[in-house]
Amino acid sequence: MRIIMLGAPGAGKGTQAKKIAAKYQIPHISTGDIFRANIKNGTELGKKAKTYMDQGLLVPDELTCDLVVDRIQQPDAANGYVLDGFPRTINQAEALQKGLEERGLKLDKVINIDVDKNILVKRLSGRRVCKNCGETYHIDNKPTLKDGVCDKCSGEVIQRADDNEKTVLDRIEVYEKQTFPLIDFYKNLGIVLTVDGTLSIEDVFSQIKESLSKNV
Q: How many CA atoms lie within 13 A of 38 on its CB side?
A: 25
The count of other CB atoms within 10 Å of the CB of residue 181 is 12
Q: Does residue 13 carry a catalytic annotation?
A: yes
- Cα–Cα distance between 21 and 2 in angstroms, integer? 11
- Report whether 100 contacts 106 (CB < 8 A): yes
Give all strands of the β-sheet with 127-130 in edge-to-edge order: 136-138, 127-130, 157-158
Q: Does residue 131 carry a catalytic annotation?
A: no
Q: Does residue 127 carry a catalytic annotation?
A: yes
**Given 160, 177, 187, 209, the catalytic residue:** 160
**Given 19, 71, 128, 171, the catalytic residue:** 171
**Given 13, 109, 123, 128, the catalytic residue:** 13
Helix (H, G, I), strand (E, B) or coil at 70: helix
- Cα–Cα distance between 162 and 148 in angstroms, integer? 18
- Cα–Cα distance between 102 and 97 in angstroms, integer? 9
**Given 19, 71, 109, 127, the catalytic residue:** 127
**Given 48, 88, 117, 122, the catalytic residue:** 88
Q: Identify the helix (H) or strand (E) that includes residue 85.
A: none
Measured between its terminal Cα atoms, the distance across the chain in Å is: 8
**CA dihedral over 59, 110, 76, 16, signed as positive or negative:** positive
Q: Which residues are catalytic?
A: 13, 88, 127, 160, 171
